[in-house]
Amino acid sequence: MVATVSNGYGSMLSVVIATHESERALVPTLAALVPGAAAGLLGEVVVADAGSRDATAEVADVAGCRFISSTEPIGTQLKVAAASTRGPWLMFLRAGAVPQAGWIEAVDRFIAASDISASRAAVFRPAGISDLTRPGLPEILALLRVTFGGRPRPEQGLLIARRFYDALGGHPDGDQAETALLRRLGRRRIGMLSAGALYAR
């Protein structure tokens, strides 16, 4: 069960996962979050769905996640889902994003070095060549982007203090809301977590 936690970190983190026809992609994402729930860092998971007709809702239910379905643009979906959570820190992921080993410690270090009104956010490091058995062109390009200072992408997730997220106005409207929010933050206000995340398309 993903959404129920015990002690540990004090349930600092609420995760919002964007989905659409994502029953297969959602499973590895949720599985990767289980250790965070067991450690007490992760307090809840909300699945923000864009009207899926597959078994996405059933997968979320079995995992103990809250499921919110809407046909509104993704920016509105994510903003509504974030508003329904309780944690002082938010992590936005796409279904298919799989945080790798060490993500709990990486997130905890970033939170510990910040405060709940922090004006910085963080994204996962894209999977490096050594993380993959058969890296494809998208993975190689992602690694080159990071190496040469490219902008973070929605596939890398987003860790942000709720107060900072609210101060920014949350995700803007429109279908490119995730990219637009990253651009609004800008490179100087986005850190790179030491843990990577694979993205299964």
46: left (phi over 0), alpha (psi -120 to 50) or beta: beta
Please report, rounded to a whole number, the percentage of residues in the chain having pLDDT higher than 90.
76
Model pLDDT, residue 174: 85
Top mean pLDDT of 111-125, 129-143, 170-184 is at 170-184
Q: What is the pLDDT of residues 38-56, one digit of tens each?
A: 999 999 999 999 999 999 9
Q: Which domains does the chain carry?
A: 13-199 (3.90.550.10)
Model pLDDT, residue 165: 97
Q: What is the pLDDT of residues 179-201, one digit of tens each?
A: 999 999 998 999 999 999 998 76
DSSP characters over 1-67: --S---STTTS-EEEEEEESS-HHHHHHHHHHHHHHHHHT-EEEEEEEES---SSHHHHHHHTT-EE
Nearest to 15 by CA among 26, 195, 173: 26
Kindly state the helix (H) or strand (E) to which residue 193 belongs, with its residue range.
strand 190-199
Average pLDDT over residues 65-77: 96
Is 48 in contact with 70 (CB distance < 8 Å)?
Answer: yes
What is the CB-side half-sphere exposure of residue 72 using CA atoms within 13 A? 15
Comparison of pLDDT for 171 and 199, the residue scoring more: 171
Model pLDDT, residue 10: 58
Model pLDDT, residue 3: 40
3-state secondary structure at position 106 = helix
Model pLDDT, residue 180: 97
Model pLDDT, residue 42: 96
Average pLDDT over residues 132-145: 55
Comparison of pLDDT for 148 and 151, the residue scoring more: 151
Q: Is the pLDDT of residue 128 over 80?
A: no
Residue 2 phi/psi, 5-degree rounding, is -90, -35
Kindly state the helix (H) or strand (E) to which residue 97 belongs, with its residue range.
strand 97-99
